[in-house]
Amino acid sequence: MIKVLIADNHPIIRMGVKQVLNNASGFEVIDDVSTTSELFSKLETTSPDVVMLEMDIPEINGIATLRKIKKEYPNVRVLMYSGQSEDVYALSTIRAGASGYLSKSAEIDYIISAVKKVSEGNMFITNELAQRLAFDEGTQKPRRFFRKLSTREVEVLKLLASGKRNKDVAEGLNLNEKTVSTYKARLMKKLNVDNMVDLLQQAKALELY
Instruction: Render pLDDT for 124-157 as a digit per residue (tens, 0 to 9).
Output: 876 666 655 554 444 444 444 455 677 778 778 8
Q: Say what the pLDDT of residue 109 is.
A: 85
Length of the chain counted residue by residue: 209
148's CB contacts (< 8 A; 6+ apart) are 190
Q: Say what the pLDDT of residue 124 is.
A: 84
Instruction: Render pLDDT for 66-79 as a digit per residue (tens, 0 to 9).
Output: 989 999 999 999 99
Distance CA 56, CA 36 (A): 10
Domains of the chain, CATH where assigned: 2-132 (3.40.50.2300), 146-205 (1.10.10.10)
Q: Say what the pLDDT of residue 144 is.
A: 47
Q: Say what the pLDDT of residue 154 is.
A: 78
Q: Which residues of the chain have pLDDT under 50?
A: 135-145, 209
